[in-house]
Amino acid sequence: MLKAVILIGGPQKGTRFRPLSLDIPKPLFPVAGLPLIQHHIEACIAVEGLKEILLIGYYPVSQIQQFVNDMNQQYNIIIRYLQEFTALGTAGGLYHFRDQIRCGNPDAFFVMNGDVCSDFPLQEVYSFHKEKGNKALVTIMGTEATRQQSLNYGCIATDKATQEVTHYVEKPSSYVSTLINCGIYAFSVDIFHIIGEAFIAKQQDFYRNGNGAKETGYIELEKEVLSLLAGSGKLFAFQVNNWWSQLKTAGSAIYANRHYLELYRSKHPERLCQNAAVGNNTKICNILPDVYIHASATIHPTALIGPNVSIGPGVTVGPGVRIRESIILADAVIENHSLVLHSIVGHNSRVGRWTRVEGTPSDPDPNKPFAKMENPPLFNHDGRLNPSITILGCYVSVPSETILLNSVVLPHKELTRSFKNEIIL
Amino acid sequence: MRALILVGGYGTRLRPLTLSRPKPLVEFANKPILLHQIEALVEAGVIEVILAVSYRAEQMEEELSLEAKKLGVSIVFSHETEPLGTAGPIALARDILKKSDDPFFVLNSDIICEFPFKELALFHKQHGREGTIVVTKVEEPSKYGVVVYNEFNAIQSFVEKPQEFISNKINAGLYILNPTVIDRIKLQPTSIEKEVFPDMAKDGHLYAFELEGFWMDVGQPKDFLSGMCMYLKSLRRKDPDRLYKGPGVVGNVLVDSTAKIGANCQIGPNVTIGPGAVIEDGACIKRCTILRDATIRSHSWLENCIIGWRCTVGRWVRMEGITVLGEDVIVKDELYINGGQVLPHKNIASSVPEPQIIM
């Protein structure tokens, strides 16, 4: 029997994802029509023998419960949310809920960071893990990064013959390895002995020396567990070359959206809109694939949508609208003849007629192999806003015949004119 | 009566349009700027128009000869071998202008107004002196040279960029002069405003005629569009039947009968659409001039633009900020052009978010 844990963090995390995370927990932000961690859940469903999925984080239950109920209804599997009493770190949460994870004595459990995007080859990760025998406590899914970008991730040095991790450093200051930690793991339950040791050492340190401002149960998996395990023969790395990305900034949502839509081609072609009428589906509008449109959205037949667009439930798209490389969230309205490019339109927002909502994409460097999202800071050295995708928070209204270029609009704002390269509070 | 129009040089201020067509032939409100003037002159009884040009103007001669025949007026080209300023061309054309003792009109070529030539000639005859300048009222006289005259309209002085309010009337670039004035001008580069008029005023031979209605020097894109708005407004008052009344029209819009406008468009206020132009479904156009045979594709939004002859503006394009497209420019779908000055025959494939000249 197998289990899976998805680490979803809490409201203090994901601030770089604002304003999109202001009214919805980042793990529930819809990418390619599904809440971000539903992609994790779907990957778990596909794993044979996986019986339970535990979401661990410190969001109030009220913000997560509806989603958990929906998932339980949608999939035939046990899904539960375990709320930490405070932020416990990536390993602290696992340790705190160790009995919940261990109960039923699973052969192994997966751990996934909630903010990674991937096709989650969990079956392969597990096969690899099992192959390594009893001595393997942890298998990290790793992927190649550029030399320079590797410094922003957990870097893994391995023995090429055995795939054993010989050295692990989280966000090193100088080059260690281009193999990076994807935040997707297979764990054996014996890992709790190791985390337990780290926990006890921390407690003792606290009571002996009285230092440490953080909660004593706060344990970082990467720094306090994986680094120690490296070189012990118990930590392995499984290298994949599939698409993988983190969802840190709002800009990376457009990029993740594009790749999840592409994955639908092979895994869920029924979720993608077709240009010609197929089966029972009548043609919605002019489509340039890949496009996801929720069944409850109202799209005028003269609209031209795609590529790489996701349209949420209850959205209204008027005649002659053009949408490309964008995410339109629930109940938004895009009025006649408007254009939305490289943008995210928050739920219940309204874009007037002949309006242009345009952002600048921040995709990985296409000329470098293994390049990842850059996630540049909001402002450059001159204090100017870095051009980025345009984001409308929820309940924003953009008047007719205006342009909104490379701007971020916070929720509930009624704009009265055009804006370029601004954050509108 | 005769008239001399100071056409002058290459019209660089109205580039990139004037790279394809001499400025006097650029259509303002669907008619070459020069024709607005010639028609008004013919109306006032002018039988011969002298065009003072400083470059070879075969294209102009060819196109105008046809129009001239229609109007029953003869057009003479007077070529300056070197630029002669605003007065020199009058001396150059003295043989023609002195053929009769009738006074003659002189016009700067970029002026658009309601051209009251008949009233001007009458006024001139009544005061009996050598010259009359048309003056027009401006909001901010400190930017211009102003004309100071007494209650009998006799001009007393000219004050360049006055620091304190002294008058709000400026020289409108339209005159009527007796042939005797020609004797005051030498055949060399001379400014009529600075070197001829002040002396005439001193001698009590120069009068001011106050212009009614609008006035604009349309020699550069910004003013070209402002002038168009004024012209259409005046047309609304004087000849409203010439304005377009189709569906989706807002305010004053002039559309050539051979232009095609699609469904669900919003055209106006203040738009001129030239012959053969095609406006596809769902376009929105405000304060623009669309020249002959241009195409504006569906769902585009244009404000403050001059779209050159045979241009194509793609779908979902947004253009604003005094954008001027030269002849035969293609703007690809979904682009944003703000204040672009695009030279002829360019293919624009990426957005121009800040004002820029595209070579």
Contacts of residue A322 in chain B, CB cutoff 8 Å?
299, 315-316, 334
pLDDT, position A282: 62
Looking only at Cα atoms, what is the longest distance across chain B?
63
Grade residue A28 by pLDDT with cuts at 50, 70 and 90. Answer: very high
pLDDT score for A214: 57
CB-based contact, B124 to chain A, within 8 Å: no
Contact B224, B148 (CB under 8 A): no
The CA distance from B345 to the nearest CA of chain A, in Å, is: 26
Q: Domain check: are A233 and A304 in the same one?
A: no
Listed by number, the residues of chain B in 288-307 with a beta carbon closer than 8 Å to a beta carbon of chain A are 298-299, 301, 303
Catalytic residue check, B161: yes
Confidence label for A212 from pLDDT (cuts 50, 70 and 90): low
Cβ-based neighbour number of residue A229 at 10 Å: 18
Q: Are residues A100 and A59 in the same domain?
A: yes
Report the distance separating Cα A274 and Cα A291, nearest Å: 8
For residues A297 and A239, state if they share a domain: no
Could you say which of A322, A324, A405 has the minimum Cβ distance to residue B299?
A: A322
Rg of chain A in Å (alpha carbons): 22
Cα–Cα distance, A388 to A60 (Å, whole number):
31
- Bridge partners for A227 per DSSP: none
Structural domain range at position A397: 267-424
Which pLDDT does position B162 carry in this prediction? Answer: 78
Please report whether residue A216 resides in a domain. Answer: yes
Q: In which band, very low, low, confident or very high, does the pLDDT at B56 lie, cut at 50, 70 and 90?
A: low
Instruction: Give the span between the Cα atoms of A195 and A372, in whole angstroms.
Output: 30
What pLDDT, on a 0 to 100 scale, did the predictor assign at position A199? 86
pLDDT of residue A129: 95
Interface touch A320/B264, C-beta < 8 Å: yes
pLDDT-wise least confident of A356-360, B45-49, B53-57, B132-136: B53-57
Q: Which of A276-280, A293-297, B74-78, B109-113 has the lowest mean pLDDT?
A: A276-280
Q: Please give the pLDDT value at position B68.
A: 85
Q: Are strands A30-31 and A244-246 parallel, antiparallel or unpaired?
A: unpaired
Contact list in A for residue B353 (CB cut-off 8 A) is: 405, 420
Say whether both A62 and A110 belong to one domain. yes
What is the Cα–Cα distance from B279 to A85, expressed in whole angstroms? 63
pLDDT range class, residue B319, cuts 50, 70, 90: very high
Mark whether A242 and A271 lie in a shared domain. no
Mean pLDDT value across chain B: 91
Helix (H/G/I), strand (E/B), else coil: B63:
helix
Instruction: Give A324's DSSP letter.
Output: E
Per the domain annotation, does A21 fall within a domain? yes
**Is there a domain that residue A254 lies in?**
no
Same domain, A363 and A418: yes
Contact A337 B334 (CB under 8 A): no
Answer yes or no: do A354 and B301 touch at CB < 8 A.
yes
Torsion of CA B193, B199, B202, B205, to 10 degrees: -80
Contacts of B336 in chain A (CB under 8 A): 356, 358, 403, 405
Residue A146 is assigned to a structural domain of this protein: yes
CATH code of A211's domain = 3.90.550.10
**Hey, what are A213's tokens?**
């401002």
- Angle of helix B58-71 relative to helix B33-43, nearest 10 degrees, comes to 30
Q: At A113, which helix (H) or strand (E)? A: strand A108-113
B107 touches chain A (CB under 8 A): no
Interchain CB distance below 8 Å, A341 and B298 = no
Q: Does one domain contain both A141 and A92?
A: yes
pLDDT in tens, B136-191: 998 888 878 788 898 888 888 888 787 888 888 998 999 999 999 888 888 888 88
Compute the Cα dihedral for B179, B180, B183, B189 and give only its sign. negative
Chain B residue numbers touching A358 (CB-CB < 8 A): 336
**A370 and A291 within one domain:** yes
Tell whether A289 and A207 lie within a shared domain.
no
Are residues A241 and A308 part of one domain?
no
| pLDDT at site A265 | 92
CB contact under 8 A, B301 and A401: yes
pLDDT in tens, A372-383: 877 777 777 777
- Where is the domain boundary, A246, A281, A314? A246
Using the predicted structure, report yes or no on whether residue A281 has a pLDDT greater than 60.
no
Q: Dump pLDDT digits (tens) for B121-138.
A: 999 999 989 999 999 998
Which of B161, B202, B222, B238 is an active site residue? Answer: B161
Q: Give the pLDDT score at A277.
A: 56
The answer to whether residue A356 is domain-embedded is yes
User: The tokens of A415 are what?
Assistant: 């704009």
In this structure, what token pair is assigned to residue B59?
């294209």
* Residue-level pLDDT at B97: 85
- From A112, A114, A57, select the one nearest A87 (Cα to Cα): A57
Q: Is the pLDDT of residue B210 over 90?
A: yes
Can you give the pTM of this predicted structure?
A: 0.85
Same-domain pairing of A182 and A298:
no
Nearest-Å Rg of the Cα atoms of chain B is 21
**Residue A189 forms part of a structural domain:** yes
Asked if the model's pLDDT at residue A169 lies above 90, the reply is yes
A288-325 tens-digit pLDDT: 999 999 999 999 999 999 899 999 999 999 999 999 99
Counts of helices then strands in chain A (DSSP H, E): 8, 32
| Separation between Cα atoms, residue A51 and residue A67, nearest integer Å | 18
Averaged confidence pLDDT in chain A: 90
β-sheet bridge partners, residue B337: B319, B352
Residue A406's nearest CA partner among A382, A381, A379 is A379
> Please, are residues A57 and A17 in contact by the beta-carbon 8 Å criterion?
no
Q: How far is A339 from chain B (nearest CA, A)?
A: 7
pLDDT, mean of residues A4-27 = 85
Number of domains in chain A: 2
Examine residue A252 and state whether it is found in any structural domain, yes or no: no
ipTM for the assembly: 0.79
Chain B residue with minimal CA distance to A337? Answer: B299
Q: CB distance B318–A320 less than 8 Å?
A: no
Please indicate, yes or no, whether residues A121 and A8 belong to a single structural domain of this protein: yes
Q: What is the CATH number for A364?
A: 2.160.10.10
Tokens of A352: 């007037």
User: Is residue A256 included in any domain, yes or no?
Assistant: no
